[in-house]
């Protein structure tokens, strides 16, 4: 790869701006070599962990979809097919609900419930409920039941694991108040005058495998692109028709139908998916952040008009696009949009997080791009405003070393490369996005250029830039 000249230095004049012309063939070959060096071309597709599939495999398989659109080389469709067959083979049904999926404990929490029993004294234990969301700390939770008991007097207690009968701590001094840290990763406090025979029960639940819609969306979105291409282009039917049918049948049942049970209708606002109602989920039953339901909404936007797609798919796609659009706020000074990472209603009251960050925001932008290109909720005016968010609010205004701010509100630090996956697809509505993305791309070394080849080529195509085939 060291000898490979990835960019051909040819300049063309478009709208008065000189632009380097990208060599499609050389970039595609560079990405092939980069890809094959990554787990022999399998990426993360052989993992059963949804986190690895979403945040690792998702970007890999999406690059294949980008390169297919830019080159129309069926090699990239073959790659998508190969990877998704492997992903499907690693799906399982651990909860026995009849649907296959992928799980990860990585984002699951540890939970503890504490209560005093029918004691003689009025001594109390607190808090009654607590949740630990820290991955490494939460992993220390055993999921066992513990007994804190004053067996021999009121000045000492012991902590016993009821599941193993092991004494975790014995002879712990008590002088009216004690902090307990032996039941990891929790912190409990007993206070008040105790009495011999007092007992306090602590039940715990450790992290468990949870299915994450955002992970599914990250790798299913490019598969949806595969299905759409095959279903709408007769010349692809012979080679890929059976795969497309198999993939769509799998997606209809195991992703669309399964996620229906977590659907939340928000009326005129639209709707979105909720988190599972599991106590170890971080926010059980709350509507997901925009990027999380949006990751899968993109796939439904692609598939909604494909023959054989679930009949509710178009409706859900429109509702999720509308829900995101409902929370866009207009920055009149820059004719741009800003939005929160998360908006919700809980216990009858609206709530929101801080402004969206640049990294997660690329999924939100991808939802808007896909919706606008299919005339669902988002208009060209909307997309110009999102492009203005990129160019007027987030860009550091340095043409030679373009960087993006940390969030859609323009907050520092300016450290993100201007080639950030879906952000660069805004070049369809403002070609300056392409110019700045290309600057950032050319500043990368050959390995990184090979890695981001698909995103850069798609950015160019969406901008209407002539490509060297």
Please state, for a pLDDT cut of 90, what percent of the chain lies above it.
Answer: 92
pLDDT for the residue 420: 86
Residue with tokens 């993109």: 298
**Closest of 111, 157, 101 to residue 133, by C-alpha:** 111
φ/ψ of 126, rounded to 5, equals -145, 155
Q: Count the alpha carbons within 13 Å of 353 in the hemisphere toward its beta carbon.
A: 14
pLDDT for the residue 419: 86
Under the banding of pLDDT at 50, 70 and 90, the label for residue 174 is: very high
pLDDT for the residue 10: 37
307 close to 233: Cβ distance less than 8 angstroms: no
Residue with tokens 């990368």: 444
Under the banding of pLDDT at 50, 70 and 90, the label for residue 469 is: low
Rounded distance between C-alpha atoms, residue 421 and residue 55, angstroms = 13
pLDDT in tens, 395-418: 999 999 999 999 999 999 999 988
452 close to 459: Cβ distance less than 8 angstroms: no
Under the banding of pLDDT at 50, 70 and 90, the label for residue 255 is: very high
Show the 3-state SS of 391-437.
HHHHECCCCCCCEECCECCCCCCCCEECCCHHHHHHHHCCCHHHHHH
φ/ψ of 186, rounded to 5, equals -95, 160
Cα dist. 305→55, 263, 311, 328 in Å?
28, 21, 9, 26
pLDDT mean over 66-83: 97
pLDDT for the residue 21: 67
Terminal Cα distance for the chain, rounded: 20
Q: Count the alpha carbons within 13 Å of 22 in the hemisphere toward its beta carbon.
A: 32
Cα dist. 159→138, 147, 181, 296 in Å?
20, 6, 11, 46
446 close to 4: Cβ distance less than 8 angstroms: yes
Rounded distance between C-alpha atoms, residue 342 and residue 274, angstroms = 12
Could you tell me the domains of the chain?
Answer: 24-103+212-463 (1.50.10), 110-205 (no CATH)
Mean per-residue pLDDT over the chain, rounded? 94
Q: Count the alpha carbons within 13 Å of 94 in the hemisphere toward its beta carbon.
A: 12
103 close to 210: Cβ distance less than 8 angstroms: yes
pLDDT mean over 113-124: 98
Question: What pTM was computed for the model?
Answer: 0.92
């Amino acid at each position: 790869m060291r000898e490979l000249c990835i960019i051909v230095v040819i300049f063309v004049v478009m709208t008065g701006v000189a632009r380097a012309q990208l060599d499609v063939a050389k970039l595609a070959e560079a990405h092939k070599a980069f890809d094959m060096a990554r787990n022999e071309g399998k990426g993360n597709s052989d993992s059963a962990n949804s986190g690895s599939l979403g945040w690792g495999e998702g970007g890999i398989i999406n690059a294949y979809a980008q390169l297919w659109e830019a080159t129309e080389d069926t090699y990239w469709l073959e790659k998508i097919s190969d990877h998704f067959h492997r992903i499907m083979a690693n799906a399982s049904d651990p909860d026995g609900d009849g649907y296959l999926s992928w799980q990860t404990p990585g984002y699951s929490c540890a939970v503890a419930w504490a209560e005093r029993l029918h004691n003689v004294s009025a001594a109390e234990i607190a808090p009654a409920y607590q949740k630990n969301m820290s991955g490494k700390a939460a992993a220390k939770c055993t999921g066992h039941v513990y007994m804190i008991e004053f067996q021999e007097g009121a000045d000492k207690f012991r902590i016993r694991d009821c599941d193993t009968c092991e004494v975790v701590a014995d002879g712990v001094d008590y002088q009216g108040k004690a902090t307990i840290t032996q039941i990891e990763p929790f912190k409990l406090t007993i206070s008040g005058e105790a009495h011999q025979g007092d007992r306090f029960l602590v039940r715990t639940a450790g992290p468990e495998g949870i299915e994450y819609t955002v992970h599914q969306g990250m790798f299913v979105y490019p598969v949806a692109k595969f299905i759409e291409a095959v279903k709408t282009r007769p010349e692809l039917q012979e080679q890929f028709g059976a795969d497309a049918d198999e993939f769509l049948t799998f997606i209809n049942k195991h992703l669309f139908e399964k996620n229906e049970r977590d659907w939340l209708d928000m009326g005129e606002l639209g709707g979105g998916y909720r988190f599972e109602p599991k106590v170890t989920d971080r926010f059980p039953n709350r509507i997901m952040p925009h990027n999380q339901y949006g990751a899968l909404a993109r796939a439904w936007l692609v598939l909604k008009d494909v023959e054989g797609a679930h009949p509710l798919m178009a409706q859900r796609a429109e509702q999720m696009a509308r829900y995101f659009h409902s929370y866009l706020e207009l920055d009149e000074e820059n004719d741009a949009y800003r939005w929160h990472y998360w908006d919700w209603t809980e216990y009858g009251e609206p709530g929101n997080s801080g402004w969206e960050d640049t990294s997660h925001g690329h999924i939100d932008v991808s939802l808007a791009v896909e919706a606008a290109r299919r005339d669902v909720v988002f208009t060209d005016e909307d997309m110009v405003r999102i492009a203005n968010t990129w160019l007027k609010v987030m860009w550091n205004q340095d043409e030679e070393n373009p960087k993006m701010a940390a969030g859609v509100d323009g907050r520092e630090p300016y450290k993100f490369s201007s080639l950030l996956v879906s952000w660069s697809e805004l070049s369809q509505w403002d070609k300056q996005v392409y110019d700045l993305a290309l600057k950032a791309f050319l500043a990368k070394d050959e390995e990184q250029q090979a890695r981001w080849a698909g995103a850069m080529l798609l950015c160019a195509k969406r901008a209407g830039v002539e490509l060297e085939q």
